[in-house]
Amino acid sequence: MKTLALTGEFAGDLLEEESACRELLSARLRKDGADATSAANARAALGKILIARQKFTDAEPVLREALAVFEKKLGRDSQTFNARSLLGGALAGQKKFAEAEPLLVSAYGGLMQHKKTTPAKGDMRVQEGSDRLVQLYKDWGQPAKAAEWQQKLDALNASAPPPAAGK
């Protein structure tokens, strides 16, 4: 029962976060315009929440818009690769594996390159991207590739610095 209650609380939090992200996106669109990176950031945040809520079909267009802005305005920035990874996750969640794979692999490579310049966010984004790749190959019925990416993820986790005391 406790697990069910916690799951319900988590789902409620995500619903509230989704609503807040939609409000933020609306405000960014009004203030800065659809082509602004601030609006793309709000779209990426909303897309991530939609993925967490398993609303993959809803997340796809939001993340495509975010990625288009990041690619145009920021080029090969870590935000671009993160949006690419999120979009790959949304596609994988819809079982569009062949379309998701190149996005996820490319995003992983780009996030690894940026990891040194944005250590805190970089570590988290690489971890999430790696998780998405492992899940993609598991869901796609490719256990050898899933194991290969799991090994990379395990090596990444083993090399990560320990969390600071009290956290």
5 vs 54: which has the higher pLDDT: 54
Q: What is the mean pLDDT of residues 66-95?
A: 97
The answer to whether the CB of 89 falls within 8 A of the CB of 118 is: no
Q: What is the pTM of this model?
A: 0.87
Ordered domains of the chain (ranges, CATH): 9-159 (1.25.40.10)
Q: pLDDT tens digit string along 41-74?
A: 999 999 999 999 999 999 999 999 999 999 999 9
Average pLDDT taken over every residue of the chain:
88
**What is the DSSP-derived secondary structure letter of residue 162?**
P
Backbone dihedral angles phi then psi of residue 141, each to the nearest 5 degrees: 75, 35
pLDDT value at residue 4: 32
Banded pLDDT at 162 (limits 50, 70, 90): low
Report how far residue 56's alpha carbon sits from residue 38's, in angstroms, rounded to the nearest whole number: 22
